[in-house]
Structure 1
Amino acid sequence: MMSKGLLDPKVDFVFKNIFGSEKNPEILISFLNATLKPKNIITSVKIKGNDIAKQFIEDKYSRLDVKATTSNNEIINIEIQLKNEHSMIKRSMYYLSKMYEEQLGEGEDYSKLGRTVCINILNFKYLKTERFHTAYRLKEIETNEELTDIIEMHFIEIPKLEENSDEKDLLVAWTEFLKDPESEKVRSLEMTVEEIRRAKDQLVRMSNDAEQREIYEMRAKILKDKVSALNKAKEEGREEGKIEMAIEMLKDGEPIEKIIKYSKLDESEILELKKKI
């Protein structure tokens, strides 16, 4: 939770309620124009799957993402992630491909396929680049010539936003809002950017609503439990890997000292494994 009682807009339930609101589509329009910087400004959006059913809130594997189509005939998916999860790029590519493929019914013309964009907002550093915003398309490996812009993937890594970033860049402004909506920077932005003021108003309304706060607390806990479960699975996988390595080295007749060094298992654990081979 943010200081002074405002809910954290980086929790997917809150993010979806602000940026996926059919009552305030100008918030999403502003964010998309800031992120995509299109030649033809997006003037309207059709938001899909706006309702958040109780079973989605309680399911730690559900994706409370924002889906929309734009006035530029683009299909957009925005997902916000608090913690690093396994195979995130592959997972994002899977959803991007699925969105692209689902546009056509059987026998329909490929020319009907619209531009498909996936935007990943991350509350952690993930990519090697130093920039907080990166975008990827299909390009020729050596000449960098673009094949098509029909599919596009964006990453916004909040912790990479630098203190001296230019707030006149609207994406910087929106990222500041997500980073800390109660900061002096955001208070100043509210005065100049109407959409940010509306987003902050919506956040204040949610924060003052007892029912919304209760749902938020539940969702925040579920997301925390999900991360703990993923970390535990990762640790268990690591232990299994050590045991497999030790067994293979024992079968190869390697000395115990060497197996301890490479597997990082205790001598007693290795001797126990030896009995089972």
Structure 2
Amino acid sequence: MERLRPLNDFVFKKLFGEKEVVDNLTALLNAILDRKGIERLLGVEIVDNKELTRDIIDEKASILDVRAKTKNGTEINIEVQLLNQSNMEKRTLYYWGKLFNKTIAKGDKYNDLSKVITINILNFEYIKLEEFHTCFHIWEDKNKNYKLNDLLEIHFIEIPKFNKMKHKNLSEDSLQRWLTFFNKDISEENLKELIKMDKNIKAAEKRLEYLSSDEYTMELYEARERTRLDRANLIDTGIERGKDEGRKQGIKEGIKEGIKEKAIEVAKELLKEGLDVDFVVKISKLSLNKVNEIKKELKL
């Protein structure tokens, strides 16, 4: 039986975003947030648990994140991103802001605003630092130890950086154990060692095996994988087509024109998929004004 990709966002939500697996989520959050002893999270509540229908799975722009709330009211959002859209810092601030605004109702006091933690698990390198796990707050520029408040907390976990580490400490580091578990192609021997070390990973792997045996779950998983590959191929092949078309024209201006025509086609497709303007500008190499003009023409 094929082992499912734990970082497929549909599977990730089934592993950590449903009420019957709240213990899995709690264990993962304690590992990411480094909560130990009396500081460990207990009684995490899973929220916004929408039904995963075929329409949602097929929708390329849909976000299958995992949301939770702690006993003290802290909101936590976990998102898995397998494809680098070159906009993660803006994207995460945007969704952090939306969630932060929802922590108080109209008429409530600002003091009622709750802390929001955003966790991004990335299958690509993004942050220009060596560490595979980075965490951001609001600090004063000159007095680096002065934090304005603790309401904003944003984590980036970059799987490729972790995989490159020569010396890992799985026996003592629970986050490293989870990141190893997320490797779809982990060897059977290493998986058995992980399960011996960590009862929470044992439970998660058991859940993963159950999902692998469910026909409808497999159908949705494969549909989500196709959606991911379609988006990746759209980005990878669109620009290459433009370059090829330009080469065929054989002259410098022809190359420019061929690339531009194809770039416009690619921009249209990316905008239709719901990708943001900044990302479309970076991929298509068109100007911001041109992309906005195309977006207006498409009435998006």
* Aligned counterparts of 1:119 and 1:148: Cα–Cα separation in 2: 18
Conservation of the 8 A alpha-carbon contact between 1:181 and 1:200: no
Contact between 1:85 and 1:230, CA under 8 Å: does it hold in 2? no
TM-score for the superposition, normalised by structure 2: 0.75
Question: SS where residue 76 of structure 1 aligns?
Answer: strand
Counterpart position of 1:65: 65
* Counterpart residue number, 2:158: 157
Given that residues 173 and 186 in structure 1 are in contact (C-alpha distance below 8 angstroms), is that contact kept between their aligned partners in structure 2?
Answer: no
Within the candidate set 167, 173, 196, 1:169 is matched to 173
Cα offset, 1:228, TM superposition: 2.3
Pair 1:16 & 2:1 matched: no
CA contact (8 A) 1:5 1:207 kept: yes
9-18 vs 142-151, which deviates more? 142-151
Aligned-partner residue type, residue 35 of structure 1: I
Once the two structures are superposed, the pairs formed by residues 230-245 of structure 1 within 5 Å of their partners are 230-231=235-236
1:91 aligns with 2:82: no
Residues 139-174 of structure 1: per-residue CA shift (max 9 Å, x gap): 111221211121111011111112421111111111
CA distances 1:31-71 after superposition (whole Å, capped 9, x unpaired): 11111124721101111222212221010100000011112
- Displacement of 1:15 in angstroms is 0.4
Shift of 1:120: 0.4
Amino acid at match of 2:151: I
Cα RMSD (Å): 2.4
The answer to whether the 8 A contact 1:42-1:72 is kept is no
The aligned residue for residue 204 of structure 1 is 209
Deviations 1:200-255 (A, max 9, x none): 0000111111221111111100111122234456669x98xxx9xxxxxxxxxxxx
Letter in 2 for 1:202: R
The letter for the 2-side match of 1:208 is: S
Of 24, 27, 30, the residue aligned with 1:30 is: 27
Report the residue type matching 1:20 in the other structure: G
Q: Which amino acid aligns with 2:216?
A: E
Matched, 1:192 2:197: yes
Is residue 2:200 matched to residue 1:221?
A: no
Mark the CA change 1:270 to 1:53 in structure 2 (over 3 Å): closer, same or farther: closer
Report the equivalent of 2:74: 74
Larger Cα-atom Rg = 1
Cα distance in 2, alignment partners of residues 185 and 271 from structure 1:
51
CA drift at 1:11: 0.5
Note closer, same or farther for the CA distance 1:267–1:230 as it changes in structure 2 (3 Å cut).
closer
SS in 1 for 2:27: helix
Could you tell me whether the CA contact under 8 Å between 2:46 and 2:69 is conserved in 1? yes
- 2: CA distance, partners of 1:6 / 1:136: 34
Q: List gaps (5 residues or longer) in structure 1.
A: 244-264
Higher strand share: 1
Name the % identity.
35
Give the aligned partner of residue 3 of structure 2.
Answer: 6
Gaps of 5+ in 2: 259-300
